[in-house]
Chains A and B, each alone.
Chain A
Amino acid sequence: MQLSPENLLKALYETMPDPVLVLDGNRTILAVNGSAIETLGFSAEELIGTGPERLYASAVDAREVGEDLYPLRGSSKPYRRRVDVRRKDGSIFPAEVTNSIIESGGGQPIGLVAIIRDLSAVLQAQKQRLRAETILNTALASISQGFAVYDGEDRLVLCNDAYREIYSISAPAMQVGSSFETIIRYGLERGQFPGAGTTAETRAAWLEQRLARHTNPEGPFVQKVEPGRTLQIEERITGDNYRVGVLTDVSALSEIKSEAERLGVIIEGVAQEVYLVRLSDRRFIYANKSARDNLQYSMDEMRQLEPQMINVDLFPDKLAGKAASIISGKTKTLIADTMLRRKDGTMYPCRVRLELMDTGPDPVVLAFAEDITERLEIERALARKQHEFETLVQNLPDFIVRARPDTTMTYTNAHYARFVGLEPAEMIGRKFLEFIPDHFHEVLEAHLASLSPDNPMKTSEQTMVAESGEQLWYLWTNLMIFEDGEPVELLSVGRDITETREARNRIASQARQLELRNDALEQFGGIVSHDLKAPLRQIRLFADMIAEDVGAGKVDDLETPSGYISDRAKGLERMISSLFEYSQLAYQGINPVTLRLDDPIAAAWSNLTVHVAEADASLFCEADIEIEADRNLLIQFFQNLFANSLKYRDPSRPTEVRLRAEAGENRITITLEDNGIGIDPRNADTVFGVFQRLHPDETLYSGSGIGLALCRQIAESHGGTIVLDSSYRDGARFVATFPTVPL
C-alpha cells in the first residue's frame, strides 16, 4: 500500500490507543476504531448506525453533550468534557471526550470525531498522590520539631504547625510563596530574635549572617527566640535545590546544661578540695582549683597522678583496703584522716570523704578533702584550754557540780568531795540533795522547780555541814539547762559565804548604830537651831532693851529684862548640860552583860530616893528574869522612866509605879505604869523627842526634856523599842521591848 495522507490518517485512526468514534450531522455513529471496540466491548456492527447516548453512564451528560454540539456548528476548537462511559458489560470508566468538528470542502460541518480518553489510570494516580500528601501533612503536623521547605527561589513551600508555633511572632508572615528573607525580616522587626540586638546596625548584621547561613548551611546551630526558647536549627539543601529546615526546641537541655555549668563553676570555686578518681586506672580525672592550688599541681599534672602518689599517711595497700569497701559497695561513704604531700614536698593533714559515684562500667570515686591544719591547731588549743579549765575547776575553792535535773550528780570537783569526805568518783550517781541538811530539802526542791527556760538561773543561800561537823553558809548558783523546753542538766556552783554573812551582819549592825547616831546628830542639830536659838535671841533682845533704856536714862525698870536674861541663860546652861549628857549616851557603844533585870531596876529606884520620898511613891516590880544588856544604860533607862512618873504625878494621891517584865522567845517585854496625870495620846510619839516638854509650866514640871528621848535611845541601841500606850487612861503606861541578846 502506497503511503498517502489518507492511508496515514487511517493508520493513525486504527492504531490510536484511545477509542475513536465518527458521527454524522444527525449524531449517528458512522465508524469506530479498533480501540473503541476493544474498550467499549461492543462490535463495530453494534455501534455503527446507532447514537452514542447508551455509551454515557449519565443521561444528563448524554443530553447536555448533544445539546452543546448539535446542530453542528463550525468551530476550530475541540469540545472537551469529562464524562463517565459505560461499556457493553455495564461497567463504567471515567473518561475525557474530545469532540472535533469535521467540515466539508466548502467549510460546512458535516460530522464530528469523538476521541474517548480513559482516565482511570490518571485518576488513580491522582488519588494516590493526594493520599501521600495527606500522610505527609499529618506526619509533619505530628512531629514536635519545626519543619519547613523552601524552593529553589527560597520561597516557602510548606511548613508544619510546630514551625509556626516556634516562630510564633513571625507566623503571620509564613504564607506559602513568601520568601525566607521576608519571613525573617517580619520576625526581626517584631523582636522574634533577641540575639539580633535592638539597634538597626546589630539587626542588619544579624540578618546578613542568618541569610548567609541559610544559603550555605554548615551544620546545626543554636538560636534564641522569643518568648524564651532556645532552638537547634539544622538546614540542608536537597538535590533539586530545595532548602529544608528542621528546628528542635532545646530550651530544657540548655537549662540543664547551664545548671551543670554553674554547678561546675561552684565546685571549681569552693574552698574544699574536690577530686574525681577513675577506678579503672586509678587516675585523677578532676581536681578543683582549691585542690590544685594546695597540692601545687596543674590539672594536666594531676591527671598523671594516682591518689597513692600524694598520700603519705596511708600505705598503698591500706589505702586500697579502705577503698575496697567503697568499690564493692559495702559502704557508701568513707571518711579518713590522712596526710597529703604537695608538689614541693611539704605535707598537710587532711580529712577525706570518699564516695562511689557511678556503678556503671567506668565508675568514679568522688573525694572531698579538707585541709585540717587549722582545725587540728584549734583542737589542740581547745584541749589545752580544757585541761586548764579542768585544773582550774578542780582547784577552785567553790563547789562545782553537774547533775541531771533530778540532782543525780554526773560531775563534782575535788573541793566539794573533800567537804563531804568523799572522793569525786564516789559522789557520781548520788543525789545532790543527800549532802544538804534535811530542813533545806523542801526549800531546794521548790527552788529548782522554779527554774524555767525564761528564768533558768537562781541563787540561794543555805547552810552546809562539813564532814568535820562545822556548819557553814554557802551561796549556791543553780543553772538549769533546757532543750526544747525540757530540763536536761543542772549546773551548780557553791561559794562559802560564811565570813561574808558574818561581815554583812556586822555591817548591818554597824549601819543600825550609825543610823541611830545620825538620828541623834540630826536631832541635836535641830535642837541647836530651834531650842537654843530662841533663848539666845531673847537674851540679845533683852540686852538691847537694857542698852536702849540706859541710853534713854530710863533705868527704873531694868529688872524685868535682866531677869529674863538671867532666866534664859540658866535655861541654856541646863540644855547644854542635858545635850552633853544625851550626846554621850547617844554616841556610846553598849557593853552588854548577862544580869538579872531587877538589879538595874533597884539601882535606878534607889538613885531617886529623895524624889521618891517627896512623891510618897511605891514601886511594884515583877522582873526577876535574866537579860543581856548594858547595866549602866539600863539603870539610866529605868531612872528616867521613874523620874517621869514622879514628875508628872497626881498630887491628890500617893504615886504608884508598877513594873512587869515578861520573857518571850526572842524578846523581853517590860511594861511600866503609873497613876500620874498621864500624857495626851496625841503626844504618844513626840514625848520621845529631845527637849519635849509635856507641860508648859516649868515651875511646876521642871526638867531638861530629854529623859524619854534618852530612854528611846537606850532601847534602840540594844535593838529594842519603847512606846507610849495611848490607850491607857489611869496614868501613863510605857511598853518597852529588849532582845534576849542585843543585836
Chain B
Amino acid sequence: MVDDDPAEHVLLQRQMKKVDGLSVKLDYVADIGAAVESVGTGDVDMVFLDNRLVPNDDFRQTAPLLRQAGFVGPIGLISSDISDAYFNEFREYGVDFRIGKDEIDGAAIRFIVSEYTRQQLSEACSEDYM
C-alpha cells in the first residue's frame, strides 16, 4: 500500500483481516520513491496506490513510475473521491482498477484479490502448458 497517511494502512489492514480464508501480507510505504524501491525487490504481487502523494500531483505521475521500475502486477488506484473525469484515463497510465476508499470493505477486497490472482494464475498455467 502506498499512501502518505499511515492511518489508511491501519484501516486497510483491518479490512483485510475481516475476509475469511484470505491470507495477505500488506506492506506499507508512504511515498512513491519507497514504493518504487519496494516493487524492485520482486516480492510485491499487487499495489494499492493512493491517488495523491505529496509532492506529486496524482496517479498520472506516480503509476508510470511503478511500471518503469518493472512492476507488471496489478495496480489498484485508491482515493477518497474518484469522481473527477481524469480518473477515467487510469488504464492509459498503467493502472488496472480504481476504487474509492469508502468502497473498500471485505467483499471488495475478496473480489479484487480473487479476480487479479486468478488472472495471474491463469496466465502462469498457460505458460507452463506451452
A interface with B by C-beta (< 8 Å):
529-530, 533-534, 537-538, 541-542, 545, 560-561, 564, 567-568, 680, 682-683, 686, 693-696
A561 — which chain B residues lie within 8 A by C-beta?
A: 10
Q: A682-B55, A682-B57 are in contact. Are A534 and B10 (CB under 8 A)?
A: no
Complex Cα–Cα for A521 and B79 (A): 22
Q: Kindly state the separation between the CA atoms of A696 and B30 in the bound complex, as whole angstroms.
A: 9
Task: Identify which of A529, A533, A542, A680 contacts B55 (C-beta below 8 A).
Answer: A680
Q: Which residue in A545, A567, A694 is a CB contact (below 8 Å) of B54? A: A694
Q: Please tell me which one of the listed residues A534, A545, A560, A564 contacts residue B101 in the complex, with CB atoms under 8 A apart.
A: A534
Other-chain residue from A533, A542, A683, A694 in contact with B80 (beta carbon distance below 8 A): A533
B7 proximal to A (CB < 8 A): yes
**Cα A572 to Cα B27 with chains together (Å):** 28
Q: Which 3 A-B pairs have the closest CB atoms?
A: A534-B80, A696-B54, A696-B4
- Quote the shortest CB–CB distance from B51 to chain A (angstroms): 10
B102: which of A530, A537, A693, A694 is its contact (CB, 8 Å)?
A: A537
State the CA gap A529–B80 with chains docked (Å). Answer: 9
Contact A537 B54 (CB under 8 A): no
Inter-chain contact B11/A541, CB cutoff 8 Å: yes
**B81 within 8 Å of A by Cβ?**
yes
Contact of B14 with A by CB under 8 A: yes
> Chain B, 1-21, contact with A by CB distance < 8 Å: what is the 0/1 string?
000110110110010000000
The number of chain B residues with a CB under 8 A from chain A is 18
Q: With the chains together, A267 CA to B96 CA distance in Å?
A: 95
Taking the nearest CB of chain A, how far is it from the CB of B36, in angstroms? Answer: 17
Q: Which residue of A lies closest to B4 (CB)?
A: A696
Q: How far is the CB of B77 from chain A (nearest CB, A)?
A: 15
Q: Report the separation of the CA atoms of residues A529 and B82 in the bound assembly, to the nearest whole angstrom.
A: 10
Q: B108 CB to closest chain A CB, in angstroms?
A: 14
Q: Are A694 and B101 in contact (CB under 8 A)?
A: no
The A/B interface has a contact count, at CB < 8 Å, of 46
Q: Report whether B4 and A533 are in contact in the complex, using a CB–CB cutoff of 8 Å.
A: no
A529-B83, A682-B55 are known contacts; what are 15 more A-B pairs with Cβ within 8 Å? Answer: A533-B80, A533-B102, A537-B80, A538-B11, A541-B11, A542-B10, A542-B11, A561-B10, A682-B57, A695-B54, A695-B55, A696-B4, A696-B30, A696-B54, A696-B55
Q: How far is the CA of A530 from the CA of B87 in the complex (A)?
A: 14
The distance from the CB of A568 to the nearest CB of chain B, in whole angstroms, is 7
Within 8 Å CB of A542, what residues of B?
7, 10-11
12 contacts between A and B (CB under 8 A): A537-B80, A538-B8, A541-B14, A542-B11, A560-B10, A561-B10, A564-B10, A567-B7, A568-B7, A686-B57, A695-B55, A696-B31
Whether A530 touches B57, Cβ cut-off 8 Å, given contacts A538-B7, A542-B11, A561-B10, is no
Say yes or no: B55 contacts A683, CB within 8 Å.
yes
**Dominant secondary structure at the B interface:** loop
Q: Which of B32-63 contact A (CB under 8 A)?
A: 53-55, 57
Measured between beta carbons, the chain A residues less than 8 angstroms from B57 are 682, 686
B30 CB contacts on chain A under 8 angstroms: 696
Closest to B55 in A: A680
Query: What chain B residues lie within 8 Å of A694 (beta carbons)?
Result: 54-55
- Asked if A533 contacts B54 (CB within 8 A), the reply is no
Query: How distant is the Cα of A680 from the Cα of B31 in the complex, in angstroms?
Result: 16
Residue among B5, B8, B80 with the most chain A CB within 10 A? B80
In the complex, chain B residues whose CB is within 8 Å of the CB of A568: 7
CA distance A693 to B4 in the complex (A): 12
0/1 per residue, B89-130, Cβ < 8 Å to A?
Answer: 000000000000110000000000000000000000000000
B54 contacts A564, C-beta separation under 8 Å: no
The answer on a CB contact under 8 Å between A530 and B14 is no
**Chain B, Cβ-Cβ closest to A567:** B7
Chain A residues within an 8 Å CB radius of B14? 541, 545
* Smallest Cβ-Cβ distance to A680: which chain B residue: B55
Q: B81, A533: Cβ atoms under 8 Å?
A: yes
Q: For the complex, what is the distance from the CA of A542 to the CA of B14, rounded to whole Å?
A: 10
Residue of A whose beta carbon sits closest to that of B52: A530
Distance of A190 Cα from B57 Cα, bound (Å): 106
Is A529 within 8 A of B11, CB to CB?
no
Please name all residues of chain B whose beta carbon is closer than 8 Å to the beta carbon of A534 when the two chains form the complex.
5, 80, 101
Name the CB-closest residue of A to B102. Answer: A537
Q: A697: shortest Cβ distance to chain B, in Å? A: 9
Expressed in whole angstroms, the minimum distance between the Cβ of B19 and any Cβ of chain A is: 14
Chain B residues near A560 (CB-CB < 8 A): 10
Q: Which chain A positions have C-beta within 8 A of B4?
A: 696
Closest chain B residue, CB of each to CB of A693: B54
**A32, B114: Cα distance in complex, Å:** 172
> Do B81 and A529 have beta carbons less than 8 Å apart?
yes
* Min CB gap B114→A, angstroms: 23
Residues of A with C-beta under 8 A to B101 = 534, 537
Q: What is the bound-complex CA distance between A680 and B55, given in angstroms?
A: 8
Known contacts: A680-B55, A683-B55, A696-B30. The answer to whether A530 contacts B81 by CB under 8 A is yes
Closest chain-A Cβ to B14's Cβ sits at a distance in Å of 6
Please give, as numbers and ranges, the residues of chain B lying within 8 Å of A695 by CB-CB distance.
Answer: 54-55
Q: How far is the CA of A444 from the CA of B63 in the complex (A)?
A: 60
Contacts of A696 in B (CB 8 A): 4, 30-31, 53-55
Residue with the greatest number of chain A CB neighbours at <10 A, chosen from B5, B31, B53: B5
**Chain B residues closer than 8 Å to A538, beta-carbon distance:** 5, 7-8, 11
Complex Cα distance, B7 from A556, in Å, reads 19
Which residues of the other chain, B, contact A683 by a CB distance below 8 angstroms?
Answer: 55
Closest to A686 in B: B57
Per the bound structure, the CA–CA distance linking A541 and B11 in Å amounts to 7
Looking at B7, B10, B57, the one whose CB has the most chain A CB atoms below 10 A away is B7
CB of B102 to closest CB in A, whole Å:
5
Closest to B14 in A: A545
In the docked arrangement, what's the CA distance between A561 and B14, Å?
11
When C-beta atoms are compared, the residue in chain A nearest to B12 turns out to be: A541
Closest to A679 in B: B55
Chain B proximity of A373: nearest CB distance (Å): 76
Q: Which residue of A lies closest to B7 (CB)?
A: A564
B82 to A: closest C-beta gap in Å: 11
Complex Cα–Cα for A567 and B53 (A): 20
State the CA gap A686–B57 with chains docked (Å).
8
Report how far A310 CA is from B14 CA in the complex, Å: 121
